[in-house]
Amino acid sequence: MENHKFVTARFINNEKTTVEIEWLNDAKDTVIEITEFEEDNLVWVDLLTHTTLDDIHENTIRWMKEQRAVFEEVVSRIAQLDNTNDDVKKIPALISSLFNNIDNDDDIFALKLALFEIKGIRESKNTNMKTQLRKSTNKFDVLRSAFDIIEEQVIEPTKKPTKKGSKASTSQTTPSP
């Protein structure tokens, strides 16, 4: 482009057939020119007097990486503003609450309510285990009962007793997500 200084060029489509060229005019204004990557295109031919095809490919990759970094930064800022990472911040408080003051009635009641919100506990058919959970008097017993209910649903007998007094063998499986 006459009276303009070449700055950079990059492909702007996945097929790499369209190129964006950035120029500076005498007033130092940026001028953008779009052209097609065709051997007989005069703009393309002129562009190759300022840069190479390899440089255009490298500029494209660099630009894409820069744009991704900008995107990730924006997403991170939005997440911070929306406090979507609050759950991670709550873990130390949760651990402290579970292992300190284990007999606190208010904490035990809240823990039981939260555990009965879990589908596997709420829908368990084992009324004895659910009763044991309800009657637990400290946080450790509450959690132990909850784990027992969930564990019962995960561990399945693989063999039935074959002789009187023999025990069924079990294998532990993890449910599919």
CB 37 within 8 A of CB 16: yes
User: 104 and 117 share a domain?
Assistant: yes
pLDDT band at 1; cut points 50, 70, 90: confident
> What confidence tens digit (pLDDT) does each residue in 150-168 have?
888 877 544 344 444 444 4
User: 69 and 99 share a domain?
Assistant: no
User: 22 and 59 share a domain?
Assistant: yes
User: 54 and 34 share a domain?
Assistant: yes
> What confidence tens digit (pLDDT) does each residue in 119-150 have?
889 998 999 999 999 999 998 899 999 998 98
- Is 29 inside any structural domain? yes
Tokens 């009962």, residue located: 145
E-strand stretches of the chain: 4-11, 18-25, 30-36, 155-157, 170-172
- Separation in Å, CA 73 to CA 81, 88, 131, 137: 12, 19, 49, 47
User: 20 and 36 share a domain?
Assistant: yes
Note the pTM of the prediction, 2 decimals: 0.47
Beta-bridged to residue 172, according to DSSP, are 155
Q: Distance between CA atoms of 100 and 122, rounded to whole angstroms?
A: 26
* Burial status of residue 125 (CB atoms within 10 A of its CB: 0-12, 13-18, 19 or more): exposed
Percentage of the chain modeled with pLDDT above 90: 48
Where among 25, 52, 82 does a domain terminate?
Answer: 82
3-class DSSP state for residue 152? Answer: helix
User: 100 and 66 share a domain?
Assistant: no
User: 66 and 92 share a domain?
Assistant: no
pLDDT band at 94; cut points 50, 70, 90: confident
- How many angstroms from the chain centroid is the CA of residue 42? 47
Domains identified in the chain, total number: 2
3-class DSSP state for residue 13? Answer: coil
User: 65 and 102 share a domain?
Assistant: no
CB 47 within 8 A of CB 62: no
Q: Distance between CA atoms of 162 and 108, rounded to whole angstroms?
A: 43
- Is 165 inside any structural domain? no
The domain containing residue 14 runs over which residues?
A: 4-82
